[in-house]
A and B are shown apart, each in its own frame.
Chain A
Amino acid sequence: MANYQSIEHDVLVIGAGGAGIRAAIEAAEMGANVGLICKSLLGKAHTVMAEGGMAAALGNVESRDNWKVHFRDTMRGGKMLNNWRMAQLHAQEAPDRANELESYGAVFDRTPDGRILQRNFGGHLYPRLAHVGDRTGLEMIRTLQDKAVHTPGLQVHMECTIYKLLVNDGRVCGAVGYWRQTGEFVVYKAKAVVLATGGIGKSFKVTSNSWEYTGDGHAMAYLAGADLIDMEFIQFHPTGMMWPLSVKGILVTEGVRGEGGVLRNNKGERFMFKYVPEQFKKDYADTEDEARRWLDGDKTARRPPELLTRDVVARAINAEVKAGRGSPHGGAFLDIAAARSPDYIKRKLPSMYHQFKELAQVDITKDAMEVGPTTHYIMGGVRVHPETAESTVPGIFAAGEAAGGMHGANRLGGNSLSDLLVFGRRAGMGAANYAKNLKSAPALSQADVDATLKEMTAPLDRVDGENPYTIAQDLQELMQTHIGIIREEKEMQEGLEKLLKLKERASRVASNGTRAYNPGWNQALDLRAMLTCSEAIARAAIERKESRGGHTRNDYPDYDKELSKVNFLIKKTSSGEMGIRKEPLPQMPAELQELFKGESNATSQS
């Protein structure tokens, strides 16, 4: 059998983006011995790509803001499918987390009276996003990274991929993985594991996500027996780059619209006015003039319709393109030059300026950007307890994009960075407490370890087989066409069939070379998680016969009253099949229901 290194921790945090690092800091400060695993180098995780900001009802710019307004915006944005308790904790704790980040050394943009500045964003009633230009994620990760390396009891393991969680007696007891640099295997023994592995975007062709986004945490939790929730809900961000082809999908921050950017079709028409859903009409401007006055700070004016939630804007662009009013490369025009001076744009949106200049040779202080929907985020994830972030398998915790429930059917921009810190901290706390209370750590099963190592070496042992890159490309093509932004029964059923065939092909995948820094072999191993998550997404999307938030169906264009009361859960059955079941939403207490008086979550989608 292959050799491996053994490492022991109380708490093993898998993933070193915002949620993972924050979890590791919390657990270590509570006295746990913590291992923090990065798939890349420390500080390179996907969080660095978050641009617009972190939502927190600090009330620095608009004193009318408070956690209840933030909570209501979040639930409305999630089409009331969110776990209400998570949304409440998130809204209540986000301001503390933002201030805490400042105490760790983050340097947010400032208000004239020297406090943290907040900007407008889609779906947030008031300016709420603490930000640093358009590189807020970088600020967050660098700040947390420096805090982490100076936290005693926290050990960082870089360029390490975890392939499997080990479970014994129904509890987690460790994990198996490999060092990317050498390809050597490593077995971690741990009392508790926090999954902070991010999302699944790499299974789609047009995506803003990096190679790391293969759904490792989602898949490992599922394979370990945990429930996944809301897997049908994927956020297609309305504004990804469209051209050149090689950069298609790269994110264009919502901050562009937050700072006054407008969307136009090829007729020059500002089309978003036509797409304001009934339920939001009272909060959004209905003329260009009113929208302009709002931008100039007139408090009696309502918000521009470009600041509707992402699901609405993405569908609107899609509809315009379908109607033949799209931009040359099949998107819409996003224009900030008309609204702001070149200096202002370069100061508040420096990386967008840079990105378009370098990659598309477009000067956004003069010309419009061409944008269109890109796969950005999965609302669904590991089902967790709202307070402790524990999954349905004892000892497995999850936070950030890997966890589900917080965002319901659609996430508001800016609610991700705050989610990372609020629930990262809670997961770290939950895991450290769990580890402390565990009388004795369950033993690792040698047979499990051996079987896993064998599975991991298999692609290199095969002489002839499928090319892992080709399978990944086929999967991306398949998900994009069959389970993409607009869905339909027949197409999805076909997609699912193809998916099962692809799974079979993936079992014959072969890679050449050695285990040392071998992206082909790494890709071969990532396929299992990508395919597992894709199957879960497809099955849940087929089951939800309505349109809601990020899930849009041609054949069921409206909300369904019954489905507005349930989440779909995915769990491995005893025979190893993927099982799916409905679960009623947890009941929101009366005092919170008050906030939504007169609203129904069963009205039409758009």
Chain B
Amino acid sequence: MQPAKAETGTISRLMRVFRGDKNRSELKEFTIKQHPGMVVLDAIHQIQADQAGDLACRWNCKAGKCGSCSAEINGRPRLMCMTRMGDFEPGETITVRPLKAFPVIKDLVTDVSWNYEINKKIKPFTPKPKNADGTWRMQQYEIDRVQEFRKCIECFLCQDVCHVLRDHDKKSEFGGPRFFVRAASLEMHPLDTADRVPMIKDSLGVGLCNITKCCTEVCPESITITDNAIIPLKERVVSRYFDPLAVLWHKITGLPKQPRGGE
């Protein structure tokens, strides 16, 4: 087994951690003991145990699986439990702030309830009837794409980094990358029959995305959000609403025309 890279002894490290709420806040300095292999979440826990018992943060799995511990570490949206302290230069100060796109509740904890409201608006899974033998058959290659989307751990890092939400705060018109991924996972599910194209256009506002790909870059699950989810959804909207032949087809048959993109 090779031990972690060149991280041997314990060093002391200066951390700056956002403390406060929506009314009052400051960056507070803490010196911590950094042991080999430690991640930023460990440092936060150490501060809680020895220096500031009431320092608020969210976490659950400590293994990058639950998406609770999102924060901005030296300006980058990341999971605290998957960010190794040893990746920073020994003398470097590590600054931890809450996600900027959501209102702060306290310290590193933000109010992400808006995301849950958006999710409720997406039409749920609506399967077609089962086969005569009582099963649904799907081939692995038909579901690979859907499974990619379903890896999402709802860390909301993509929401945090997307300029439509972060800089323009268009929460009333735009669902954000996480929910394009969600909508795409349903739209491309081989058994699903519901039509979500109108809501993808109107309430999720997919047109506001200008494909900067920042969301894809931060996704800790490496979901290709833009290419695999958003662009195919945009294509569906375009062919439904802006392609004259498709519009006519839809008017006559009432059936959505399924574009090929992304499947």
Contact = CB atoms under 8 A, between A and B. Distances in A.
B127 interface: yes
Nearest to B152: A142
B103 to A, nearest CB: 11
A230 to B, nearest CB: 26
Contacts of A361: 2, 4-5
Given A48-B65, A114-B138, A243-B37, A149 B119 contact: yes
A368 B113 CA distance: 42
B67 interface: yes
Contacts of A107: 138, 143, 146-147, 150, 189
Contacts of B35: 244-246
**Interface majority SS on B: helix, strand, loop or mixed?**
loop
12 contacts: A44-B68, A46-B61, A107-B150, A210-B66, A243-B37, A244-B38, A359-B63, A359-B82, A468-B53, A473-B49, A519-B54, A521-B53
**Interface majority SS on A: helix, strand, loop or mixed?**
loop
A517 interface: yes
A525 interface: no
Contacts of B21: 516
A410 B151 CA distance: 30
Interface in A496-524: 511-514, 516-521, 523
A68 interface: no
A13 interface: no
Interface in A214-251: 243-247, 250-251
A139 interface: yes
A133 B192 CA distance: 22
A359 B50 CA distance: 24
A146 B107 CA distance: 29
A43 B154 contact: yes
Contacts of A512: 53-54
Contacts of B153: 48, 138
Centre residue among B1, B57, B147 by max chain A CB count within 10 A: B1
A149 B122 CA distance: 11
Contacts of A147: 124
Contacts of B135: 99, 114-115
Given A146-B124, A362-B1, A210 B54 contact: no
Contacts of A591: none
Q: Which 6 A-B pairs have the closest CB atoms?
A: A244-B37, A520-B53, A513-B54, A114-B137, A105-B125, A517-B56
A49 B39 contact: no
Nearest to B82: A358
A394 B65 CA distance: 37
Given A135-B65, A146-B124, A359-B37, A109 B140 contact: yes
Contacts of A358: 64, 82, 84
A523 B39 CA distance: 21
A98 to B, nearest CB: 12
A181 interface: yes
A150 B182 CA distance: 15
Contact of B58 (A41, A105, A115, A329): A41
Chain B: interface size category: 35 or more
A49 B65 contact: yes
A468 B186 CA distance: 45
Contacts of B49: 467, 469-470, 473
A103 B131 CA distance: 13
B42 A246 contact: yes
B136 to A, nearest CB: 7
A132 B150 contact: yes
Contact of B61 (A109, A210, A473): A210
A245 to B, nearest CB: 6
A170 interface: no
B82 A367 contact: no
Contacts of B58: 40-41, 44
Contacts of B262: none
A45 B61 CA distance: 9
Given A40-B58, A211-B60, 4 more contacts: A138-B65, A243-B37, A244-B38, A511-B53
B63 A251 contact: yes
Interface string B32-52: 000111110010000011100
A360 interface: yes
Interface in A248-262: 250-251
B151 A135 contact: yes
A146 B189 contact: no
Contacts of A454: none
A104 B139 contact: no
A324 interface: no
B9 interface: no
A293 interface: no
Interface string B186-223: 10010010000000000000000000000000000000
B30 to A, nearest CB: 15
A518 B48 CA distance: 10
B54 A511 contact: yes
B247 interface: no
Interface in A1-54: 40-46, 48-49
A328 interface: yes
Contact of B60 (A42, A46, A132, A473): A46
Given A359-B37, A513-B54, A110 B124 contact: no
Nearest to A516: B106
A351 B50 CA distance: 32
A518 B119 CA distance: 28
Nearest to A210: B60
Nearest to B106: A517
A601 B58 CA distance: 45
A149 B61 contact: no
Interface string B1-17: 11111010000000000
B57 A519 contact: yes
A181 B106 CA distance: 8
B246 interface: no
A370 interface: yes
A250 B53 contact: no
Nearest to A117: B140
Contacts of A146: 119, 124-125
Contacts of A113: 137
Nearest to B63: A250
Contacts of A269: none
A48 B64 CA distance: 10
Contacts of B96: none
Nearest to A212: B60
Nearest to A242: B1
A135 B148 CA distance: 12
Contacts of B3: 243-244
Contacts of B5: 361
Given A105-B189, A107-B146, A150-B124, A359 B39 contact: yes
A327 interface: yes
B62 interface: yes
Interface string B120-164: 100011010000000111111001001100111110000000000
Contacts of A354: 64
Contacts of A469: 48-50, 53
Given A243-B1, A245-B37, A351-B65, A142 B150 contact: yes
Contacts of A473: 49
A133 B147 CA distance: 9
Nearest to A472: B49
Interface string A85-105: 000000000000001001111
A110 B37 contact: no
Contact of A247 (B37, B56, B113, B137): B37
Contacts of B55: 519
Centre residue among A48, A49, A132 by max chain B CB count within 10 A: A48
